[in-house]
Amino acid sequence: MKFSLCSIKCCVLFIVCWILLKPNFGLAQREIKPCQQEPAFIRTLGYDPLWTALSTSEKTYIGISLIAFEKKLGQNSPTAQTPKMEIYQHPSWKSAGYLSTISFDRIGNVYTVPAPLISMLYNQTEKLNTIYKIDASNGEMSEWINLPFASKPSSQNPYGLLGINYDCQDHYLVASTVAGSDRYNERGVIYLINPVNKKTTDSIKNFDAMGVGFAFDELRKKRLYYGSVRTGNIFSVVVNSKGKMDKKTIRKELSLEGYGPRGDDKARKIKFNGNQLLVSGTAFNYNLQAASEKPETLYTFIWLAKEKKWGLINYN
Amino acid sequence: MLLSMFCTDAIAQQKKAALKKTTAKKPTAVYLNEYRAGLMSSSKADTNWFIIERKKEIEQILKDSLPVKWYKEKGGEKALLAQKIALANPFFTRYLFDLKTGKPLWNEIFGVYPARPGDIKKGITSLPGALMRVEMYNYANNLTTIGIVDVFSMKLVSADHYPDTQPDIPQSLIQLAEQIAINAPEVEKALGFKPNAQKPIMSSTKTALNRTKCERSQHLCVAPTFVQGNRALWAIVDLTDNRLVGLRWTNTGADAAVVTERKMQNETVADCYCEKVNSISKNGWNMDYLLTASDGLQISNVTFNNKRVLNSAKLVDWHVSYSGTDGFGYSDAVGCPIYSQAAVVATDPPKIAEIVEGDSVVGFMLEQKFFSELWPGPCNYSYSQRYFFYKDGRFRITCASIGRGCGNNGTYRPVFRISFAGNEQNFYEYEQAGWKQWTKENWQLQKPSTLYDSSGFQYKISLDKVNSYFLEPGKGQFNDGGKGDNAYLYLTKNHLNKDEGETDLVTIGPCCNTNHEQGPEKFINAVPESTINTDLVLWYVPQMKNDDRPGSKYCWAETYYENGVYKIKAYPCFAGPMFVPQK
């Protein structure tokens, strides 16, 4: 009897879950379960991965550095206020000059892209389209892939790669570059790369994007979300398990224009938390103004199934 | 006094070029004025009656015990009571006065409404219809305070302060914004007719209000919009300073672009000064000028009385080092606001102003200013670049840091590149025995022991057999607040068949070298080349130490209080040499 009741409860629960998750019932777009692993070298170095973070924005440190935080009783992980205890840098971590976005894969390799900070002094122009990889086991950073330049870099655009992210569903890396673009020519490319053989499986050309991320849409199809650095618009496209984009499915998801304290933010980072779309917005004008002058706003959107559009529920 | 901010020719040319490549029509932007005026420009006197009245009203309210304009447009006695209750609460009124000095700040209640269900925090109970929402705006801090009051129990039940947030504006401010727009000659010129009160639309709608920002000034701005066919003219009005910021045509439609202060400023400067070479012909001088991607405002093809003087002059870098932290500082390039390698950008167009000495105009000045977004906040920078041209043939190339930087222990080292005209140049230094020629590439630091001739000249450059210029470095004698240049001067050969720094240069030196290694030394060969009868380049690197002490502030900026809002006071440290023609 007890077993039977439990079975009935389980069945009911299953049906409820099925109803909630079945896409045709107008459900939300939602995140892909994270798969990223901590790099093994953190433990090898004697640090607790839970109390460390990799950073590319430490004052006086060029490149990437590992921050070890002071452990606090009663806390499981550091917060923004947790004091830093130590900063570690592997000798290879500053070889590429200043870096920006970081992404991890499922075995703990770290991928990062270069971005000049304030001046071009420490970044080589010819390396602006190079993705760097820190090996999960030994912590050594090296050039991973050199992506082609759509046009010769010029003084009108000091940037190349801007965004990078990892697809935890089918294990592809996405990277966006604006190298070679200028005011009147949008020459950016979004690449989907197979990290096993470093081959590009597909790309979107002539589009300047910064924030890139993956999630399931309301039909449970995996989409790549990418934010324009020219308009504040965020688009998406269905990507299959072979790393091919179905370009016919490209659609505009939302625009940041007019939102937030500035009104002209561009999507620097795109990620999902459950069924919420989180967008870090900041100003971007293809110049070298210091990041400290570019306050960032986190916009939280929720999918309005009936209206089939995103609704802003919060920004701060 | 100021250059016209319309650059229709530039925009038209640019449009032609752009239209070849894109189908989108590029709208025209006009940026009118700057909120950071101050250096050499006096504030404009207001003549419109509605602005004069508004300012009088502000002055009067700032004298009240509570510097707040009450909302009296709707809601009657209940709305007045709600405001009275809110303003009696010290938490609601926390930011009415400057927290440090106690000086009154300009505040206005924009609206009083029945509280909405979402306004009522958990645990608050009240009789039906008792709760009212009071929205107050603080102009000085760009801060909104929202209070929920119970008009039956006569208590404030909750209040929150929201920085960088602006509530919906009241009808009186909508009307003021419309009046400012309608009466602006720039709007009439753009439309081709003088609009009336019925023509501006959208200024009262939430759309215009929320989708128009003054990101740089952090002021309250709205945009009365005039629609003509499928185009709309946005008139951005700053209700903190009560002035028109600028105009911008857009296409109407669902995907119509949002117009903001920053976007309009950036596009105007880029269209008119980064992508177009402008020219000046004045007082015997002729030249071109262009805002570069990373070398500041460049002048080129400079002639005086039809004789060539300069090939070009520009400001390559700013090196800023802080003595307290070893190796801490920045190498800032200055230049165009968008699509550039500039770290500190031009947000306003260059200015041309007359130089007046006594009661005479003796020449003119060309000035370009550059700003970090959050200047004068800490670790943000502003620079000025000024070229002076005199009727008697003298000219001076200068620049200044206008603070504020990351500390009071900073030294600024701007790097000028100055290329004189002529293929048979020679360069001389004043010594005890007279003028001695530099026969090879070299550098030298101006020191307290440096010798000058009887007129104060340290160097001389001859352009040919007839024309020479003396170089007079800054020693605090130019009456611009400069305390002396303490400059490095580099002389390098200008090979005409290779780039000796003529094109836009990337950052050429690190932030924090305290010696001569500021970048130009890279153009001196390992075996220095001959500098006799050839093309030469002068590099000039003054050094200015900042100071924040009262009475001696230098390379510094700070905010100060005036009429209920904060304004900016600048203490620039100008440096740069005067060039005097040898008679």
Q: Which pair of tokens denotes residue A284?
A: 């971007």
For chain A, list the domains and their CATH numbers. 25-256 (2.120.10)
Please identify among residues 155-214 of chain A the ones whose CB lies closer than 8 Å to any CB of chain B.
155-158, 182-185
What are the phi and psi torsion angles at B23 (to 5°)?
Answer: -90, -20
Query: Nearest chain B Cα to A117, which residue?
Result: B343
Report pLDDT for A13: 44
User: Rounded to whole angstroms, how far apart are CA atoms B334 and B294?
Assistant: 5
Residues in chain B with CB shorter than 8 Å from the CB of A182 are 339
Please name which of B398, B545, B407, B410 lies closest in space to residue B472, comparing C-alpha atoms.
B398
Average pLDDT, chain A: 88
Task: Label residue A16 exposed, middle or buried (CB < 10 Å: 0-12, 13-18, 19+).
Answer: exposed
Q: What is the ipTM, given to two decimal places?
A: 0.85
H or E, element range at B331: strand B329-332
Residues in chain A with CB shorter than 8 Å from the CB of B509 are 121
Could you tell me which residue, A67 or B499, shows the higher pLDDT? A67
Report pLDDT for B27: 40
Distances (CA, A) of A15 to A19, A306, B370, B385: 6, 22, 63, 71
Strands B344-345 and B334-335: parallel
Measured in angstroms, the CA of A86 and the nearest CA of chain B are apart by 18
Measured in angstroms, the CA of B17 and the nearest CA of chain A are apart by 9
Strand partners for B365: B353, B388
Span between the terminal Cα atoms of chain A, in Å = 53
Q: What angle do CA A105, A110, A113 make, to 5 degrees?
A: 115
Q: Is A119–B331 a contact, with Cβ atoms under 8 angstroms apart?
A: yes
DSSP-based three-state secondary structure for B84 = helix
Task: Label residue A69 exposed, middle or buried (CB < 10 Å: 0-12, 13-18, 19+).
Answer: buried
Q: How many CB pairs under 8 A join A and B?
A: 117
Report pLDDT for B516: 95
Measured in angstroms, the CA of A195 and the nearest CA of chain B are apart by 32
Please name which of A257, A192, A199, A202 lies closest in space to residue A228, comparing C-alpha atoms.
A257
Q: Which pair of tokens denotes residue B352?
A: 């041309």
User: Rounded to whole angstroms, how far apart are CA atoms A8 and A6?
Assistant: 5
Report pLDDT for A170: 95
Report pLDDT for A178: 96
**Best mutation site among B373, B382, B512 for testing chain A: the one with the most A CBs within 10 Å?**
B373
**Does residue A57 belong to the interface with chain B, where contact is any CB pair within 8 Å?**
no
Q: Which pair of tokens denotes residue A55?
A: 């950073």
Per-state percent for chain A, helix, strand, coil, to nearest 5: 15, 40, 45
**Best mutation site among B339, B380, B383, B406 for testing chain A: the one with the most A CBs within 10 Å?**
B339
Residues in chain B with CB shorter than 8 Å from the CB of A60 are 325, 327-328
Q: Which pair of tokens denotes residue B256?
A: 């119509």
Q: Which pair of tokens denotes residue B367?
A: 């000035």
Mean pLDDT of A47-68: 91
Distances (CA, A) of B413 to A295, B130, B224: 28, 64, 45
User: A282-311 pLDDT, tens per residue?
Assistant: 989 999 987 665 688 999 999 888 888 999
Contact B437, B356 (CB under 8 A): no
Measured in angstroms, the CA of B443 and the nearest CA of chain A are apart by 23
Fold of B277-581: Beta-galactosidase; Chain A, domain 5 (2.70.98)
Band of residue A74 on the pLDDT scale cut at 50, 70, 90: confident
**Does residue A316 belong to the interface with chain B, where contact is any CB pair within 8 Å?**
no
Residues in chain B with CB shorter than 8 Å from the CB of A263 are 211-213, 215, 258, 260
Using a pLDDT cut of 90, give the percent of chain A over it.
Answer: 68
User: Rounded to whole angstroms, how far apart are CA atoms B61 and B51?
Assistant: 15
Strand partners for A67: A53, A87
Q: What is the DSSP letter of B191?
A: H
Query: Nearest chain A Cα to B325, which residue?
Result: A60
Report pLDDT for B254: 54
Report pLDDT for A24: 37
Report pLDDT for A293: 58
Domain ranges of chain B: 8-40+183-271, 50-163, 277-581
Q: What is the DSSP letter of B208?
A: H
Q: Which pair of tokens denotes residue B236?
A: 């951005």
Could you tell me which residue, A20 or A190, shows the higher pLDDT? A190
Q: In the block, which residue shows the tokens 């009789």?
A: B127
Contact A33, A130 (CB under 8 A): no
Residues in chain B with CB shorter than 8 Å from the CB of A283 are 215, 262, 373
Residue type, B357: E
Contact A203, A215 (CB under 8 A): no
User: Rounded to whole angstroms, how far apart are CA atoms B147 and B93?
Assistant: 10
Please name which of B209, B207, B206 lies closest in space to residue B177, comparing C-alpha atoms.
B209
* A195: preceding bond cis by omega (within 30 degrees): no
CATH number of B50-163: 3.10.450
Measured in angstroms, the CA of A286 and the nearest CA of chain B are apart by 5
Tally of CB atoms within 10 A around B129: 11
Q: Is A261–B325 a contact, with Cβ atoms under 8 angstroms apart?
A: no
All residues at 6 or more sequence positions from A125 whose CB lies less than 8 Å from its CB, including other chains: A153, B506
Residues in chain B with CB shorter than 8 Å from the CB of A119 are 330-333, 341, 343, 506-507
Mean pLDDT of A150-167: 92
Report pLDDT for B583: 87
Measured in angstroms, the CA of A260 and the nearest CA of chain B are apart by 9
User: Rounded to whole angstroms, how far apart are CA atoms B88 and B106?
Assistant: 17
Measured in angstroms, the CA of A199 and the nearest CA of chain B are apart by 31
Report pLDDT for B255: 54
Q: In the block, which residue shows the tokens 């006569």?
A: B154
User: Rounded to whole angstroms, how far apart are CA atoms B509 and B489?
Assistant: 15
Report pLDDT for A152: 84
- Residues in chain B, pLDDT under 50: 1-6, 8-28, 31-42, 202-211
**Best mutation site among B141, B215, B234 for testing chain A: the one with the most A CBs within 10 Å?**
B215
Count of alpha carbons within 13 angstroms of residue B566, beta-carbon side: 18
Measured in angstroms, the CA of B126 and the nearest CA of chain A are apart by 27
Please name which of B355, B347, B357 lies closest in space to residue B398, comparing C-alpha atoms.
B355
Q: Which of B212, B294, B332 sits opposite A155 (nearest CB)?
A: B294
**Does residue A24 belong to the interface with chain B, where contact is any CB pair within 8 Å?**
no
Report pLDDT for B578: 98
**Best mutation site among B341, B347, B505, B511 for testing chain A: the one with the most A CBs within 10 Å?**
B341
Residues in chain A with CB shorter than 8 Å from the CB of B341 are 119-120, 155, 158, 287-288
DSSP-based three-state secondary structure for B429 = strand
Distances (CA, A) of A231 to A228, A257, A267, B544, B550: 6, 7, 9, 40, 45
Report pLDDT for A292: 60
Please identify among residues 138-157 of chain A the ones whose CB lies closer than 8 Å to any CB of chain B.
155-157
User: Rounded to whole angstroms, how far apart are CA atoms B367 and B369?
Assistant: 7
Q: Is A118–B266 a contact, with Cβ atoms under 8 angstroms apart?
A: no
